[in-house]
């Protein structure tokens, strides 16, 4: 008897990434716990725990440092294979994290011309299919010298031998506009203001006479609506990660040392640079974004200006104050040649007052700008009540800690951000991949599905900002940085014209949709609450498990308690029945109920609540809260 064994082999497809022939840099982000390989032509680089093995012997190999490859990480491969006259000038370098010479792990160089000819024409690289590749980027240049952190003009030639000069022409495209802005028309400090800053830094008891750094937020309208701050450093700043931001620094006064790191938690300095007054430097998500600033001269403060090409919410950290308030403080100190100019009787009436408001009244500089103070009108003194987590809002004589409304809309590789200011909404973001050199209009629709707008010609916008058009540049990117009156739109769900959970659309002047996304709140949804802490009005005994839910409706500012008593789903608010639902069916991951009075279906899961006009159309996420379902067997306090 013959026995036949059939073996079925699953075909696993490899990822091939196209590369420029002869010269390139490839950076990949990956995750793996196993050995893996990269295949470049007939070269196979085998990555083990802390080594790279090459299958060919006609290469000289130099290992520069140890590195663990068996974890989620970033590595890059940079090749320059275009010089047949000087064989040893050709190389393949493999490194980690940022593409810098000091991050090189291995240096591979061909030993002969025949080897060079074979690999120089290779135009793709094969990635081991068993590693999880999360992202990759390809550049047409090779790492021969590090791009200079400093931005050099055509008149500056003192360039580090290991650096390639960075000019306005070689800057990332996102930085070219603001380079000209900060160089020619950017915010400048007058000599009187610099003298006042130096005096405040030197004199004991003055506003700047301490070791921590201070950020001064400059009104955006002074710099063509770009976020702009002045930073004053007595000694050094904490290590900062600028994440996905593009920005430029200009030294207004002093000498700055910058130490660069691969990670905010990594104590190893990758590179150090020195910049002097009037010099400029840059950073981007790909390079120089993690650094620490140090003031070289202890005798005077370091004053620098920072401007961002893409956007973040207005600077609101504990050490950030508005420029007008800052200037009042330091000029008052300098002109009076005294740090003891604060009034002790700054409280005219009794009640809560924000720290920034008291500073405007010439109170003590030690008051926290974002603190809420209680003023005693009789004693003429202020006592700190609490530090506001987000923002201290002052309205006449009443101050209060409030949470600013924030939202974001994601639009296929782009995003638009929203921040509720006192009387306006700030829209900012970078939208990519649209028609070049074109005019667009931002519109908001009352639907919550982009397909309604794209597929229908009868949907009318809720709001259209035709008086605030935006224009794309030569790369097909639109920089959005506008403020809209709060009477037109808002982020408060309890008010009319709220754009939360609505569609925001970028349309060209012909009405064609270029980008579309849903405006989603970034504010916290529901504060956690234990079952034992929930109290109703009366007591009732439940002998069986019930479906229990807690729902906080942010729009109505109300919390609802609901549970199944075995007959129907009852919704309570303030101890009273608010609504009753009939059970329709149990779904795979929740329950579907129907409310007769309001006439809608709802599907409740352990993470959210969705509404619909029929069972087949329960797709609209309410967006103002969610339900938490829990089976409980206990006395419910009603």
pLDDT tens digits for range 120-155: 889 999 999 888 888 899 998 899 989 989 888 655
- Annotated domain spans of the chain: 15-139, 149-331, 342-402, 406-521, 531-637
pLDDT tens digits for range 527-543: 333 323 333 222 233 33
Facing residues of 256 across strands? 275, 295
User: What does the alpha-carbon distance between residue 227 and residue 259 come to, in Å, rounded to a whole number?
Assistant: 24
Q: Determine contact, residues 371/358, Cβ cutoff 8 Å.
A: no
Residue 553 clears pLDDT 80, i.e. is over it: no
Choice among 111-125, 234-248, 430-444, 453-467 with the minimum mean pLDDT = 453-467
List, in order, residues 6 or more apart from 595 with CB less than 8 Å away: 579, 580, 581, 582, 602
User: What does the alpha-carbon distance between residue 610 and residue 603 come to, in Å, rounded to a whole number?
Assistant: 5
CATH architecture observed for domain 15-139 = Sandwich (2.60)
Residue 424 clears pLDDT 90, i.e. is over it: no
pLDDT tens digits for range 328-371: 778 888 888 877 655 555 777 777 888 877 766 666 656 777 77
User: What does the alpha-carbon distance between residue 20 and residue 122 come to, in Å, rounded to a whole number?
Assistant: 8
User: What number is the average pLDDT over the span 580-584?
Assistant: 72
Structure confidence at residue 530 (pLDDT): 31
Band (pLDDT 50/70/90 cuts) for residue 317 is very low
Do the domains 15-139 and 406-521 sit in the same CATH topology, yes or no? Answer: no
Choice among 318-322, 383-387, 578-582, 583-587 with the minimum mean pLDDT = 318-322
The CATH classification number of 149-331 equals 2.60.120.10
User: What number is the average pLDDT over the span 51-66?
Assistant: 90
Structure confidence at residue 401 (pLDDT): 76
The CATH classification number of 406-521 equals 2.60.40.200
Mean pLDDT for all residues in the chain: 76
Q: Where are the beta strands (DSSP E) in 313-464?
A: 320-322, 351-354, 371-376, 381-387, 391-395, 398-402, 406-410, 415-420, 424-431, 439-445, 463-464
Residue 213 CB neighbours (<10 A): 18
Which DSSP category does 183 fall into? I
Of the two residues 59 and 33, the one the predictor is more confident about is: 59
Structure confidence at residue 135 (pLDDT): 87
Structure confidence at residue 61 (pLDDT): 92
Sign of the Cα torsion 500, 503, 504, 509 reads negative
Structure confidence at residue 153 (pLDDT): 66
List, in order, residues 6 or more apart from 228 with CB less than 8 Å away: 186, 187, 217, 218, 220, 222, 305, 306, 307, 308
User: What number is the average pLDDT over the span 500-528?
Assistant: 77
User: What does the alpha-carbon distance between residue 95 and residue 113 come to, in Å, rounded to a whole number?
Assistant: 25
Residue 561 clears pLDDT 70, i.e. is over it: no
Band (pLDDT 50/70/90 cuts) for residue 565 is low
pLDDT tens digits for range 258-270: 999 998 888 889 9
Residue 9 clears pLDDT 50, i.e. is over it: no
Choice among 155-159, 212-216, 233-237, 584-588 with the minimum mean pLDDT = 155-159
């Amino acid at each position: 008897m013959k026995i036949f064994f059939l073996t079925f082999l699953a075909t696993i497809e490899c990822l091939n990434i196209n590369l420029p022939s002869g010269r390139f840099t490839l950076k990949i982000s990956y995750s793996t716990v196993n050995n893996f390989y990269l295949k470049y032509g007939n070269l196979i680089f085998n990555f083990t725990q802390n080594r790279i093995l090459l299958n060919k012997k006609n290469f000289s190999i130099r290992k520069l440092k140890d590195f663990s490859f068996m974890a989620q990480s970033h590595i890059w491969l940079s090749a320059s294979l275009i010089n047949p006259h000087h064989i040893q000038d050709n190389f393949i370098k493999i490194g980690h994290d940022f593409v810098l010479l000091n991050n090189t792990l291995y240096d591979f160089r061909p030993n002969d011309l025949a080897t060079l000819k074979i690999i120089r024409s290779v135009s793709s690289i094969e990635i081991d299919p068993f590693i999880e590749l999360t992202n990759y980027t390809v550049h047409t240049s090779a790492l021969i010298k590090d791009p200079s952190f400093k931005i050099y003009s055509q008149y500056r030639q003192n360039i580090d031998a290991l650096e390639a000069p960075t000019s306005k022409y070689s800057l990332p495209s996102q930085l070219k506009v603001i380079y000209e802005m900060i160089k020619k028309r950017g915010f400048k400090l007058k000599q009187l203001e610099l003298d006042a800053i130096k005096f405040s830094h030197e004199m004991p008891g003055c506003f700047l006479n301490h070791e921590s750094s201070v950020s001064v937020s400059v009104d955006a309208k002074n710099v063509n609506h770009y976020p702009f701050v002045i930073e004053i450093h007595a000694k050094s700043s904490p290590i900062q990660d600028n994440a996905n931001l593009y920005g430029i620094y200009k030294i207004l006064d002093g000498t700055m040392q910058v130490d660069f790191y691969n990670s905010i938690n990594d104590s190893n300095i990758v590179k150090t640079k020195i910049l002097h007054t009037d010099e400029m430097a840059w950073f981007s998500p790909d390079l120089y974004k993690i650094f620490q600033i140090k003031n070289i001269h202890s005798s005077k403060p370091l004053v620098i200006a920072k401007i961002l090409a893409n956007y973040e919410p207005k600077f609101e950290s504990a050490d950030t104050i508005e420029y007008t308030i800052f200037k009042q403080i330091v000029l008052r100190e300098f002109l009076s040649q005294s740090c003891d100019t604060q009034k002790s009787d700054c409280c005219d009436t009794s009640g809560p007052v924000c720290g920034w408001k008291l500073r405007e009244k010439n109170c003590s500089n030690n008051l926290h700008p974002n603190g809420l103070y209680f003023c005693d009108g009789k004693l003429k003194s202020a006592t700190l009540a609490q530090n506001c987590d987000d923002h201290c809002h002052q309205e006449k004589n009443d101050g209060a800690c409030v949470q600013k409304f924030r939202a974001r809309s994601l639009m296929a590789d782009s995003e638009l951000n929203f921040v509720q200011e006192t009387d306006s909404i700030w829209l900012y973001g970078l939208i990519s991949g649209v028609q070049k050199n074109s005019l667009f209009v931002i519109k908001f629709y009352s639907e919550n599905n982009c397909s309604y707008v794209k597929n229908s010609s009868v949907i009318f916008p809720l709001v259209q900002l035709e008086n605030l058009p935006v224009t794309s540049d030569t790369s097909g990117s639109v920089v959005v940085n506008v403020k809209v009156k709060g009477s037109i739109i808002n982020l408060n769900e309890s008010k009319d014209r709220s754009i939360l959970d609505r569609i925001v659309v970028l349309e060209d002047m012909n009405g064609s949709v270029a980008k579309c996304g849903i405006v989603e709140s970034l504010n916290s949804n529901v504060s956690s609450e234990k079952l034992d802490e929930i109290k109703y009005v009366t007591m009732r005994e439940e002998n069986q498990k019930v479906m229990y839910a807690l729902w906080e409706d942010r729009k109505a500012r109300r919390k609802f308690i609901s549970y199944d008593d075995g007959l129907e789903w009852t919704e309570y608010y303030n101890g009273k029945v608010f609504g009753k639902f009939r059970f329709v069916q149990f779904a795979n991951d929740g329950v579907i109920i129907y409310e007769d009075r309001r006439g809608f279906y709802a599907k409740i899961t352990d993470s959210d609540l969705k509404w619909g006009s029929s069972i087949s159309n329960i797709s609209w996420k309410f967006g103002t809260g969610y339900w938490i379902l829990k089976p409980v067997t206990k006395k419910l306090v009603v």
